[in-house]
A and B are shown apart, each in its own frame.
Chain A
Amino acid sequence: MHKKQSFAFSLVSLLCLGLLSCSQAGSNTELKKLTITGSTTVAPLANEIAKRFESENANVRVDVQTGGSSRGLYDAEQGLADIGMVSRALKQEEKPNVLTFVIAQDGIGIIVNKDNDIKALSDEQIVKIYTGEIENWKAVGGKAAPITVVNKAEGHSTLELFLKYFKLKNAQVKPDVVIKDNQQGIKTVAGNKDAIGYVSIGTAEYSIANGVAIKLLPVGGVEASTKTVGDGSFPLFRPLNLVTNTSPSPLTQQFIDFAQSKEVHDLVEAQNFVPIQ
Chain B
Amino acid sequence: MNQQQKTNNKKQTTNNKQLITTSLVWSVPLIITAIFFWILGDIIWHGIGQISWEFLTTATKDAGRSGGIAPIIVSTVLILAVCLTVSIPLGVGTAILLAEFTREENWFGRLVRRSLDVLAGVPSIVFGLFGNALFVRILGFKYSILSGGLTLACMVLPILIRSAEEGLRAVPNDYRFGAACLGICRTSTLWHLLLPAAVPGLLVGLVLGVGRAIAETAALLFTSGYVDHLPTSLLDSGRSLSIHIFDLSMNISGGDPNAYGSALVLIMLLLIINGMAAWITHRWLENRILYR
Contacts and interface: CB of A to CB of B under 8 A. Distances in A.
User: CB–CB under 8 A between A and B in the complex?
Assistant: yes
B59 to A, nearest CB: 9
Contacts of A225: none
Contacts, number: 94
A22 B250 contact: no
Contacts of B228: 47
Contacts of A15: 81, 85
A65 B233 CA distance: 17
Contact of B143 (A63, A270, A271): A63
Interface of B: 62-64, 78, 81-82, 85, 143, 221-222, 225-229, 231-237, 247, 249-255, 280, 283-284, 287-288
A58 interface: no
Interface of A: 3-4, 7-8, 11, 15-16, 18-19, 22-28, 40-41, 43-45, 47-48, 61, 63-67, 180-184, 186, 202-203, 206-207, 210, 270-272
Contact of A27 (B233, B250, B252): B233
20 contacts: A4-B284, A4-B288, A15-B85, A19-B78, A19-B234, A22-B231, A22-B232, A27-B233, A28-B232, A43-B226, A44-B63, A44-B247, A47-B226, A65-B227, A65-B237, A66-B226, A182-B253, A203-B253, A207-B254, A270-B62
Given A65-B143, A65-B225, A183-B249, A8 B284 contact: yes
Given A3-B287, A11-B280, A15-B85, A181 B254 contact: no
Given A41-B251, A184-B250, A270-B62, A19 B82 contact: yes
Nearest to B237: A63
A53 to B, nearest CB: 13
A187 to B, nearest CB: 9
Contacts of B81: 15, 18-19
Contacts of B288: 4
A27 B81 CA distance: 20
Nearest to B243: A66
Nearest to B59: A51
Given A22-B234, A66-B226, A270-B63, 13 more contacts: A7-B284, A8-B284, A23-B234, A23-B235, A25-B232, A43-B226, A44-B251, A64-B226, A180-B250, A182-B251, A183-B250, A207-B253, A210-B254
A64 B284 CA distance: 44
Contact of B251 (A63, A183, A270): A183
A45 B252 CA distance: 10
- Which of A3, A19, A22, A23: most chain B Cβ within 10 A? A22
A16 B235 CA distance: 16
Contact of B85 (A19, A186, A271): A19
Contacts of B250: 180-181, 183-184
Contacts of B234: 19, 22-23, 26
Contacts of A63: 143, 225, 227, 229, 237
Contacts of A40: 247, 251
B63 A271 contact: yes
A4 B287 contact: yes
Nearest to A61: B229
Contacts of A181: 250-251
A22 B238 CA distance: 13
